[in-house]
Amino acid sequence: MSTNPVDIPTDDIELEEWLESIESVLRTEGPDRAKVIFRGVRDYLARSNIVAEDATLNTPYRNTIPLSEQPPYPGDIEIEERLENIIRWNAMAMVLRGYDSGTGVGGHIGTYASAATMQEVGFNHVFRKRSERYGGDLVNVQAHAATGIYARAFLEGRVTRKQLDNYRRELQPGGGLSSYPHPRNMPDFWQMPCASMGLSTPSAIYQARFVKYLENRGLKPRNGGKVWVFIGDGEADEPEVLGTINIAAREQLDNLILVANCNLQRLDGPVRGNGKIIQELERNFRGAGWNVIKVIWSGEWDPLFAQDRDGVLQERMEQAVDGDYQMYSVSSGKEVREHWVGTNRRLAEIMQPLSDEKIRCIRRGGHDQHKIYAAFERAVQTRGQPTAILIKTIKGYGMQGYEGSNAVHQKKSLSIEERVETGRRLGIPLSDEELAKAEFYLPPENSEETLYLRTHRRALGGWLPDRKVVCPTLPSPDLALFREQLNGSGKRAISTTMAFVRMLTKLMQHDELGRYIVPIVPDEARTFGMEALFRRAGIYSSEGQKYKPVDSSTLMPYREAKDGQILQEGICEVGAMASFMAAGTAYAVHGIPTIPFYVFYSIFGFQRVGDMIWACGDMLSRGFLLGGTAGRTTLNGEGLQHEDGHSQVVANTIPNMRSYDPAFAYELAVIITDGIKRMYYQQEEIFYYLTLYNENYPMPAIPNGAEDGIIRGLYRFQKSNSKPKKGRKAHLLGSGAIMTQVLDARELLENLGVSADVWSATSYNELAREALSVARANRLRKTGEPTTSYLENVLKDESGVFIAASDFMKALPLSIAKWVPGHYAVLGTDGFGLSESRPDLRDHFEVSAEHIAYTAMAALADERLVSAKELSKAGSQLSIDPGKLNPAIEGPAQIKTGAHPD
């Protein structure tokens, strides 16, 4: 709110009096008092049910921080501009040289050109590195502006000329720089991945939230640190961006600053040609409870504002749409003036002191260090709210002839003349020939620019981005911790989900590991029987619990607490995944080895937030993802959008994910113990996906020596006690809850005169990966004996037919087919799920005990060990319908509704 006197252009005497009195309050008592009075009037009217429908969350289309409140700039702009120009040049040269090399590796120039100044202000004055005394800033830039970060790191001496030259050529000797921020490929540099647009916002929000969680739980000192996330204005259209901002305000994340680079363009064209993206984002963020700071105009506009007593300039600014502003960035000064001023004589007068050339060059706020710094500084000081800074820029700023053009995003090369011209304009002291070849320019060590850059980073604690893992290792848990699961449940029928919850409880009570366990659930804790943890561990709430829960007198009340350990994320899988990412990367970001266990409805994992899981792989997240209510036929009744028969197949697409589909409680115990050891003791860069089921059955005790097989993916669970007659031998592979069917099938087969062994296949994915690796090594080896895979070894002495049954798609067991030493048939749950009872679902999908037994008989018949007649008899005995529909491609008869009986 301005305190400048305003000429009130009205002939409404009564309104004029009101405005004059508020004007006098503003002048004499200041804006805070004026706000109180304004709210008082508004509330008074509201009491009489009078609400101004057109009240808006928008402020005028100008800078939030007026000149009068702008802090002095803490740096030397002249040197900073020289530095920025060198960085701009080198960033562009990386892409141009890539283009010249003919490798077609691509790259972008326009995004960084628009973001350079805001990034440089941050690096020179604001972004602080983690130290003993300071929690550290996590800085996440726009992926397409990564070139600018590399170009700066080159000046800092952190990356070599050769690495710069190998931008987007990571396989080159000595390594090249990754296209975008990928911690996986540059693990001592990048902190967070962001190349999939939209995901960096929830990632940053939940990183900031997790910092508060760590502080409230006493795992981290309250020593500050900000999460900065830079996004594009086009990117803000991704639903994950605006869809997750509410939580940031609710949690009062004043350690979070989101900067939207509003260059008004995305890849193809304008973001909101017919509107104003900055105003739209302001409404959204302000409505969600954020502090919003707009940086729209540079200082060159300030004298014009001072002339704008009657508000005509402001009015014109409101009126022009982004399509106009984009057009101005490609037009001559004369054209801009004509379009801007139109027939408005007062506006013409205000603009009159500026020559056409000045009008052409007048900058937007995003290219003015003073305005950017003012916004950054205010954001850093803000308490109790997250801040969104909306900065207006020009896409391709400084790329003459291409600035603001719709094609600028894809511009990857410049002509020789354009290169020389650009280099000269940026003041790069290279020869024309060198500029034409887009040579990099490195100022001397003792140059003013280099010294300036170093001094400023030193004052802010050191280089950023920077990822250094300094984290204590955790002890490897003793398997005996899970004695209960190893001993089995006797006759008591329990599910793997129940077993897991017992194990989680044990882990949370563990002396050394307990405090680091982070249970995460979307709104599903009761589905998984985890509600007992509410009382014991508490649900994390930054506000504690201000109400008495309705169930306070029960044994399992809904207990929220400031130091609660459970993250109950509401119905927001993307947020829960972002929490998993934050907890799974705290070892690198904060040096705190938290172990997330994120339990979710398995179908709402990979298929709902698969990209987020992929990003966790990029960010080297650790921890356990647990797909509960798994299995297309085990989760009955729920129908096709709930019944998951494919997440294990998708899990295999994440290269560093170890995925298991355990059948028994002791398998879970072995896998989780091994997982904690690998991730938190041996520091392996892996994470886990385990499927859990809700079917109850007695859990057996661990067979002797099964551990290794459980981890590798296959072991013999039960050997037949009958000798095979005439080679009638079957090996039944089962996993997850379908193991119950496999065990029943074994009995059916024994009754049919077939000797059957049961194998537990805890992970087809692990088996196939290892077998493929061994096959590859054998292929590439020139001499020497070939080695064999675990799978080949474990099955090498077996003969007979092999039948695998899974509650997942056939592709999963099929992945090991090549190495199974005999007839191999697979049964799985291809096709859409449907609402039915568990036995009917298993019959429909052909994974019931009967279908398994029949498939073994059919395989033996193929091998001529069972006659056609005997097979047909077995089919009748097992009630197999040969005319049954194919569940992989057909559903049940569709119901016709609404038809009249007549």
Ligand X SMILES: Cc1ncc(C[n+]2csc(CCOP(=O)(O)OP(=O)(O)O)c2C)c(N)n1
Residues that bind ligand X (CB under 6 A): 111, 114, 142, 144, 195-198, 232-235, 261, 263, 265-267, 271, 395, 409
Closest approach of Mg ion to the CB of residue 134, in Å: 32
Question: Residue written as tokens 């568990």?
Answer: 838
409's contact among Mg ion, ligand X, none, with CB below 5 to 8 A by partner kind, is ligand X
Separation in Å, CA 373 to CA 282, 367, 869 = 19, 11, 86
Q: In this structure, are residues 601 and 524 in contact, taking their beta carbons and an 8 Å threshold?
A: yes
Q: In this structure, are residues 498 and 674 in contact, taking their beta carbons and an 8 Å threshold?
A: no
Q: CA-CA distance, 560 to 546, in Å (whole number)?
A: 9
For Mg ion, the closer of residues 64 and 142 by Cβ is: 142
207's contact among Mg ion, ligand X, none, with CB below 5 to 8 A by partner kind, is none
DSSP letters spanning 496-547: HHHHHHHHHHHHHH-TTTGGGEEEEESS-TTTTT-THHHHHH-EE-TT---S
Closest residue by Cα to residue 564 from 595, 499, 518, 530: 518
For ligand X, the closer of residues 142 and 741 by Cβ is: 142
Separation in Å, CA 530 to CA 557, 600, 711 = 12, 12, 26
For Mg ion, the closer of residues 235 and 439 by Cβ is: 235
- Binding segment for Mg ion among 154-162, 262-270, 530-538, 611-619 (CB under 5 A)? 262-270
Closest approach of Mg ion to the CB of residue 371, in Å: 19
For Mg ion, the closer of residues 296 and 692 by Cβ is: 296
Q: CA-CA distance, 686 to 657, in Å (whole number)?
A: 6
For ligand X, the closer of residues 397 and 715 by Cβ is: 397
For ligand X, the closer of residues 260 and 732 by Cβ is: 260
**Residues touching Mg ion, count (CB under 5 A):** 5
Closest approach of Mg ion to the CB of residue 231, in Å: 9
559's contact among Mg ion, ligand X, none, with CB below 5 to 8 A by partner kind, is none
DSSP letters spanning 463-495: -SS------PPPPPPPGGGGHHHHH--TT-EE-
Closest approach of Mg ion to the CB of residue 461, in Å: 31
Tokens in use for 892?
């049940």
For ligand X, the closer of residues 197 and 379 by Cβ is: 197
Closest approach of Mg ion to the CB of residue 111, in Å: 7
Closest approach of Mg ion to the CB of residue 325, in Å: 13
In sequence order, the β-bridge partners of residue 689 are: 625, 659
Closest residue by Cα to residue 147 from 65, 90, 82, 191: 90
Tokens in use for 751?
């009754």
Q: CA-CA distance, 597 to 514, in Å (whole number)?
A: 12
568's contact among ligand X, Mg ion, none, with CB below 5 to 8 A by partner kind, is none
574's contact among ligand X, Mg ion, none, with CB below 5 to 8 A by partner kind, is none
Closest approach of Mg ion to the CB of residue 603, in Å: 35
Closest approach of ligand X to the CB of residue 694, in Å: 34
267's contact among ligand X, Mg ion, none, with CB below 5 to 8 A by partner kind, is ligand X
> Which residues have C-beta within 8 Å of that of residue 580, sequence separation ≥ 6?
520, 596, 598, 616, 621, 623, 625
622's contact among Mg ion, ligand X, none, with CB below 5 to 8 A by partner kind, is none
> Which one of residues 263, 621, 741, 765 is an interface residue with Mg ion (CB under 5 A)?
263
Burial label for 513, CB within 10 Å (0-12, 13-18, 19+), is: buried
For ligand X, the closer of residues 183 and 198 by Cβ is: 198
Q: CA-CA distance, 646 to 666, in Å (whole number)?
A: 24
Q: Is residue 234 within the footprint of Mg ion (CB under 5 A)?
A: yes
* H or E, element range at 278: helix 277-287
111's contact among ligand X, Mg ion, none, with CB below 5 to 8 A by partner kind, is ligand X
Amino acid identity of residue 211, one-letter, is V
Q: Is residue 232 within the footprint of Mg ion (CB under 5 A)?
A: yes
For ligand X, the closer of residues 148 and 423 by Cβ is: 148
Longest dimension (CA), the chain: 110
Closest approach of Mg ion to the CB of residue 262, in Å: 7
Q: In this structure, are residues 360 and 332 in contact, taking their beta carbons and an 8 Å threshold?
A: yes
**In this chain, which residue has its C-beta nearest to ligand X?**
232
* H or E, element range at 561: strand 560-561
> Which one of residues 120, 165, 233, 707 is an interface residue with Mg ion (CB under 5 A)?
233
For ligand X, the closer of residues 197 and 651 by Cβ is: 197
Closest approach of Mg ion to the CB of residue 238, in Å: 13
Q: CA-CA distance, 440 to 751, in Å (whole number)?
A: 79
201's contact among ligand X, Mg ion, none, with CB below 5 to 8 A by partner kind, is none
User: Using CB under 5 A as the criterion, what x/- string covers residues 56-95 for binding Mg ion?
Assistant: ----------------------------------------
Closest approach of Mg ion to the CB of residue 286, in Å: 21
Per-residue 3-state assignment (H helix, E strand, C coil) for 596-626:
EEEEEEHHHCHHHHHHHHHHHHHCCCCCEEE
Closest approach of ligand X to the CB of residue 408, in Å: 9
For Mg ion, the closer of residues 234 and 675 by Cβ is: 234
Q: Which residues bind Mg ion (CB under 5 A)?
A: 232-234, 263, 265
